[in-house]
Amino acid sequence: MIRKVTIEELLTAYPAIPCVDVRAPSEFEQGHIPGACSLPIFSNEERAQVGTTYKQQGHDAAVLLGFDITGPKWSGFIRQALDYAPDKKIAIHCWRGGMRSGAMAWALDFYGFEVLVVTGGYKTYRNWVLSQFEKTYALQLIGGMTGSGKTTLLHALADKEEQVIDLEELAQHKGSTYGTMNRLVQPTQEQFENNLAARLSGFDRERRIWMEDESSMIGRCLIPRPIWKQMREAALINITIPFEQRVQALVQEYGCLDKTFLAECTQRIWKRLGPEQTQQAVTAIQEDRMSDFVKEVLGYYDKTYTTGLNRRLPGTTLSADFTDTDSSKQALQVLALMSKHEQQRR
């Protein structure tokens, strides 16, 4: 049986049904529905060949070429679909809900699958993604200078059943010049947006959603402008911890990384850091004086953060001085501070 569903129906009524994306691998890599599986009808080269035939010879010639290419593949498609959906219930989409998803749906239906075909395909999904960023959310930000433990605090808030989005996790980047940690691979901008929209759509918009105060760019990933605007207007709790505590936290996080990586990253910001401080920082890395390296670069990052903090709207910044290193207790302190702030605004 084949049934057409909207993207909203797929995401809300059928979230447990495996979703397969039959577009070419390059299209899938550029961006896909989070959790979807790739089951490409055409390889990248085959897709280009069919597209060229369509432009030069028309619809009928392209369709015949498509069947010539896929003829030997159909049993493989069915076997792979069975791996994804052994109970024979599956959702399918291509770019616009056209020939590729139609052909795959026909084959799987013939084999005995219950098939949902997404109306409008991935193009409609992308419109849904962008629409999520136009909604209003009850955002609350955690701010603080580098090494303050903002990410750890976010996770502690999540443990207390608060709604939390870790933007750095979604972007696979720590936000600084060292942000890849010499191992993280960032998603495409499109996939970053897809992942963020998926998280936002799963939350209650009437409840607080905690995020870390970020620059508009996290590595190569740009926070969508409507969300970024809401972040700039949201209340921010600026956490402070002793300088030496921040230094030790950063030494523990970054000190074990490859020295060549750290030196190259440091040299990329020499114009902002200054030639003398850059050389001192690189020398400290080479001599394994990680505390000195961290102190050299913190001067730049602290100044940058302070500048951004001073640009926020008046009355939107609250302060939380942490003397306890227990993140669970820090979370309780933050929640109490935010509750008091909300009561005063009523």
Express each pLDDT in 57-99 by its tens digit: 999 999 899 899 999 999 999 999 999 999 999 999 999 988 8
Q: Tell me, what's the pLDDT at 120?
A: 96
What's the pLDDT tens digit per position in 235-267? 999 999 999 999 999 999 999 999 999 999 999
Which are the contacts of 243, defined by CB distance < 8 A and separation ≥ 6?
A: 298
* pLDDT score recorded for residue 334: 93
The average pLDDT across 198-219 equals 96
pLDDT at 265: 95
Report pLDDT for 80.
98
For the chain, the structural domain boundaries read 2-130, 136-345
Q: How confident is the model at residue 38 (pLDDT cuts 50, 70, 90)?
A: very high
Segment 261-286, tens digit of pLDDT = 999 999 999 998 999 999 999 999 99
90-113 mean pLDDT: 95
List, for residues 114-170, the tens digit of each pLDDT value.
999 999 999 999 999 999 999 999 999 999 999 999 999 999 999 999 999 999 999
Share of the chain above pLDDT 90, in %: 88
Q: Residue 55, exposed/middle/buried by CB under 10 A (0-12, 13-18, 19+)?
A: exposed
> Which architecture does CATH list for 136-345?
3-Layer(aba) Sandwich (3.40)
pLDDT over 70 (residue 302): yes
- Which pLDDT score, from 0 to 100, does residue 323 have? 80
Given this model, what pLDDT does residue 346 score? 67
From CA 148, how far away is CA 140, in angstroms rounded?
17
Q: Percent of the chain having pLDDT more than 70?
A: 100
pLDDT level of residue 308 (50, 70, 90 thresholds): confident
Q: What's the rounded mean pLDDT across residues 41-58?
A: 94
CATH number of 2-130: 3.40.250.10
Helix intervals (H) in the chain: 7-13, 25-30, 44-57, 59-70, 74-84, 99-111, 121-132, 150-159, 167-171, 189-201, 225-233, 243-254, 259-268, 270-273, 275-286, 290-310, 327-345
pLDDT at 345: 72
Residue 203 in this model has a pLDDT that exceeds 90: yes
- Predicted local distance difference test score (pLDDT) of residue 310: 87
> Which pLDDT score, from 0 to 100, does residue 97 have?
83
Residue 315 has pLDDT above 90, yes or no: no
Count the neighbouring beta carbons within 10 Å of the beta carbon of residue 87.
10
What tokens appear for 293 in the block?
Answer: 């390296």
Res 344 pLDDT > 80:
no
Catalytic site positions: 94
Q: Give the pairing type, strands 217-218 and 163-164.
A: unpaired
Exposed/middle/buried for 84, CB within 10 Å: 0-12, 13-18, 19+?
A: middle
What are the residues whose beta carbons fall under 8 Å from the beta carbon of 90, sequence distance 6 or more?
17, 18, 19, 20, 81, 84, 108, 113, 114, 115, 116
